[in-house]
Structure 1
């Protein structure tokens, strides 16, 4: 995993995501989920490309059930964008690189 793409857990979610000084994209994933595995390289690329403006994290739903439950994660992968206001928006599915960029640009512009 890229150093810029990091994992969060039930124990680290608050400090790494909710108390972050910049927006954080959290991908709720599972090891058995094909689309989740497919999405990882795109997330690593995104984390590198936007390292000064956006954090990108992974949260394994099987290992971190409390966090997944708290945010209503049901489908995988679920992409959740957190800003200083908390949970801003979510998308479900393995978005293409272009879809991911367009969605984030739109959300972060508001």
Structure 2
């Protein structure tokens, strides 16, 4: 299952529910964000049904990034029931992303 692209308008709906949601705060100009994108897609496929991966472009959707204090990119945040349960700043390998998700969920 591919990562879902979300916006400020549907952010709260996207992070609600019982399934853990990993939100990737990214920007088009961010090199490490682009490096990590295929890894997130692969992890999204591998962990389908266990976790949802969502991506939000902070340049086009600044409200969510501001609300959650995102200051650097890429930032990954794990949400459960609409609340932040874990945060990671910086790029990670596919294996490290999967490990972080398992540790955090």
| TM-score after normalising by structure 1 | 0.90
Aligned-pair distance for 1:20?
Answer: 2.9
> Which runs of no fewer than 5 residues in structure 1 stay unpaired?
none
Aligned-pair distance for 1:85?
Answer: 5.7
Could you say if the C-alpha distance between residues 20 and 85 of structure 1 is closer, same or farther in structure 2, counting changes exceeding 3 Å?
closer
Which of 75, 78, 81 matches 2:75?
78
> Which runs of no fewer than 5 residues in structure 2 stay unpaired?
none
Q: Any idea what the Cα deviations from partners look like across 1:45-99, whole Å, max 9, x if unmatched?
A: 0111111110001010001111000000010000000012611110011111121
Which of 9, 18, 23 matches 2:20?
23
Structure 1 segments, 4+ long, off by >4 Å, are none
CA contact (8 A) 2:27 2:33 kept: yes
Q: CA RMSD in A?
A: 1.1
Which of 6, 9, 33 matches 1:8?
6
